[in-house]
Chain A
Amino acid sequence: QEQLQESGPRLVRPSETLSLACSVSGGSINTRTCYGGWIRQPPGKGLEWIGTIFRSGNTYYNPSLKSRVTISADTSKNQFSLKLSSVTAADTAIYYCATCDSTSWSKFDPWGQGTLVTVSS
């Protein structure tokens, strides 16, 4: 079973760029048609999909975040990454990465443990 681990700064200043990486162990992302996705959860609230990246290079982003989001992959490091620009306090959330399934695009399994990113000056 693959395991995923998010890494990156836990504190980001307003207007700056949030950057997180998702390292995958126990399997190569290059064998997958769908590499992975990012999902976030503001404290005490529900889940919000951020975006998904495919081996083809295609990426799909939440329309409400699309202008600020970039998801990329580095197969040599067996990881995929998230960049969210111009952050505000509303972007404070637990950020999860998860591997995706090309046959069912809402199926994410497994998930990383999540990392709380706080946007504050």
Chain B
Amino acid sequence: QSVLTQPPSASGTPGQRVTISCSGSSSNIGSRAVTWYQQLPGTAPKLLVYSNNQRPSGVPDRFSGSKSGSSASLAISGLQSEDEADYYCAAWDDSLNGVVFGGGTKLTVL
């Protein structure tokens, strides 16, 4: 059971907008920055969004992050086939004194 809760799966058709949620508590998302990672099949995770809504250089602006209270969301607009991957949220947890990850969401592009 992960400290951060994500839906196990999500799907959309090319061009569509999809949103992946990440639910936590006051000791993690509620008080700390959220990070999102993308893991393509058979590869290492890649930084997608940090500090709730900042994109590293090279990440398309189709990807956007947001946070409200103890929940966060990753939105992907203009869905493309190459977006099919696993997505993970993460945050520091002040109670556990460590990094916690969501269980991951498998995104399928139909």
In the bound complex, do residue A106 and residue B34 qualify as a contact, i.e. CB atoms below 8 Å apart? yes
Rounded to whole angstroms, the CA-CA distance of A18 and B34 in the bound complex is 30
Rounded to whole angstroms, the CA-CA distance of A67 and B92 in the bound complex is 20
In the bound complex, do residue B32 and residue A106 qualify as a contact, i.e. CB atoms below 8 Å apart? yes
When each residue 79-111 of chain A gets 1 if its CB lies under 8 Å from chain B and 0 otherwise, what string results? Answer: 000000000000000001000010111111111
Rounded to whole angstroms, the CA-CA distance of A109 and B88 in the bound complex is 14
B110 an interface residue at 8 Å Cβ cutoff?
A: no
Q: Which of B44, B46, B104 contacts A112 (CB 8 A)?
A: B44
When each residue 55-89 of chain B gets 1 if its CB lies under 8 Å from chain A and 0 otherwise, what string results? Answer: 01000000000000000000000000000000010
Rounded to whole angstroms, the CA-CA distance of A107 and B47 in the bound complex is 8
In the bound complex, do residue A46 and residue B98 qualify as a contact, i.e. CB atoms below 8 Å apart? no
When each residue 12-32 of chain B gets 1 if its CB lies under 8 Å from chain A and 0 otherwise, what string results? Answer: 000000000000000000001
In the bound complex, do residue A109 and residue B56 qualify as a contact, i.e. CB atoms below 8 Å apart? yes
Q: How would you classify the secondary structure of chain B's contact residues: helix, strand, loop or mixed? A: strand
How many inter-chain residue pairs (CB < 8 Å) link A and B?
70
Chain A 14-60 residues near chain B, CB threshold 8 A? 37, 39, 46-49, 51-52, 60
| Residues of A contacting B98 in the complex (Cβ-Cβ under 8 angstroms) | 49, 51, 60-63
Query: How many positions in chain A have a CB within 8 Å of any CB in the partner chain?
Result: 26
In the bound complex, do residue A52 and residue B97 qualify as a contact, i.e. CB atoms below 8 Å apart? no
In the bound complex, do residue A104 and residue B88 qualify as a contact, i.e. CB atoms below 8 Å apart? no
In the bound complex, do residue A96 and residue B35 qualify as a contact, i.e. CB atoms below 8 Å apart? no
A7 an interface residue at 8 Å Cβ cutoff?
A: no
Rounded to whole angstroms, the CA-CA distance of A64 and B34 in the bound complex is 22
Offer 16 A-B interface pairs, CB within 8 angstroms, sorted by A: A39-B45, A47-B45, A47-B90, A48-B101, A60-B97, A62-B98, A63-B98, A101-B50, A104-B33, A105-B32, A105-B92, A106-B32, A106-B35, A108-B47, A112-B44, A113-B43
Rounded to whole angstroms, the CA-CA distance of A37 and B103 in the bound complex is 19
Closest 6 CB pairs of A and B: A109-B47, A49-B99, A106-B90, A111-B44, A105-B92, A106-B35
